[in-house]
Structure 1
Amino acid sequence: MEHYIKEFLTGQTITLQQMTASDLEAFVKIESEKKTLLLADDEIPFPKTFEDHSTFFQSISGKKEEFIFGIFKKSSNELIGSCGVYAINWQNSTCFVGISIGEEWQGKGYGTDTMKTLIDFIFNYISIQKIKLQVFSFNKGAIRSYEKCGFTKEGILRNELFRFGKFHDVWLFGLLREEWTPNK
């Protein structure tokens, strides 16, 4: 049991923690970066105000059907992004996950480490059978990361997203509990 307690919400390079009011400024900076606006969700990539981010930030602390974490770099305890578990369907034992990493830390393994840590949390502490996610077809780095974590491409939503003046596909990925190999 001691082994599990030491590894709880801790990856090789990151720690997942609840964000506090002191993290708001760093959170707003990351969520306002160009890459985050273009890759994080399917909304029109219009920059949000500090107040918009502050309202969201305050709302996440009270939700019991979502688990939103700050991603903190282990070596410096610096906030480098956020991730979460949402749209939990208790009847069918499924959920969605999402992740957002600041531009400065993308492509350095933090996303993969975060996703593996988040998967460990879900399959060890939530009665979930299947984790789902959506990714834009042009986000090749994220796709490679999800595949490293064991996700399988399950479907394509054709011409689902309008970015860069044209329509793009959104890929659906899933990971079943029996396909998961725990972090070692």
Structure 2
Amino acid sequence: MKYYKKITGNRLYLSPINTDDAENYIQWLNDKAVANTYAQYSSVVSSKNDLKWLFEPADGVHRYAIVLLDGEVLIGSISLQNINHLNRNAFIGIFIGQEEQGKGYGTEAIRLILGYGFNTMNLHNIMLSVHADNYAGIASFKKAGLRETGRRREWVFKDGKYIDVIYMDILAREFGE
């Protein structure tokens, strides 16, 4: 698979997403350890058709593959979505394959997409939401500079119980502090 180094970091880069990687995404989104950290956790993904939301261009969405520099290995996906150019804000979506979780790649990918959003797209505020039981994700997002701004109590029903959804954001002037 050929990837393009659109946004490059120390250990990984972000490349435009490619339908040739559909099998990887199908595997990850059906893996409970990955899916439980992502908004689509209850979906069953069995074909490329189930991934139209991932591969088809959409207004207000910049979606990237997360690829390791060492070995050109695809490890996940990150996006800026719901981009509002008038108010200069956007929402982040991210997932990392289970085998690469816990290695700091999520934090680096978040920092790369924040840099792109603030420095290239001139955004002012970038936010995300995370399930309250995704402790590693919350720690990663805080390490990247985001802070908790709100919470929807018992918003998601998962594994037989309700859990909160936490909202986090960062302003352009806070990025890199």
Same fold (TM over 0.5): yes
- Residue number in structure 2 paired with 1:50: 47
Unaligned runs of 5+ in 1: 1-6
CA distance in structure 2 between the aligned counterparts of 1:16 and 1:95, rounded to whole angstroms: 17
- Check conservation: 2:29, 2:41, Cα contact below 8 A: no
Distance in 2 (CA, whole Å) between partners of 1:33 and 1:112 is: 21
Structure 2: distance between partners of 1:112 and 1:25: 25
| 1:87 has 2:82 as partner | yes
Q: Which has the higher helix share?
A: 1
When the two structures are aligned, how many residues end up with a matched partner?
173
Divergent runs of 4+, >6 A? none
**Residue-by-residue CA offset, 1:96-139 (whole Å, 9 max, x unaligned):** 00110000000011101111111111111112100010011110
Give yes or no for the alignment of 1:142 onto 2:140. Answer: no
Taking structure 1 as the reference length, the TM-score comes to 0.87
- Where in structure 2 are the equivalents of 1:7-156 lying within 5 Å? 9-41=7-39, 43=40, 45-59=42-56, 62-156=57-151
Percent identity of the aligned residues?
A: 27
User: What 5-or-longer segments of structure 2 have no aligned partner?
Assistant: none
**Whole-angstrom distance in 2 between the partners of 1:54 and 1:177:** 32
- 2:18 corresponds to which letter in structure 1? T
Give 3-state SS (helix, strand or coil) of 1:39's partner.
Answer: coil
Give the Cα separation in 2 of the matches to 1:165 and 1:57.
Answer: 28
RMSD value, Cα = 1.8
Checking the alignment, whether the CA contact within 8 Å between 1:24 and 1:57 is kept in structure 2 is no
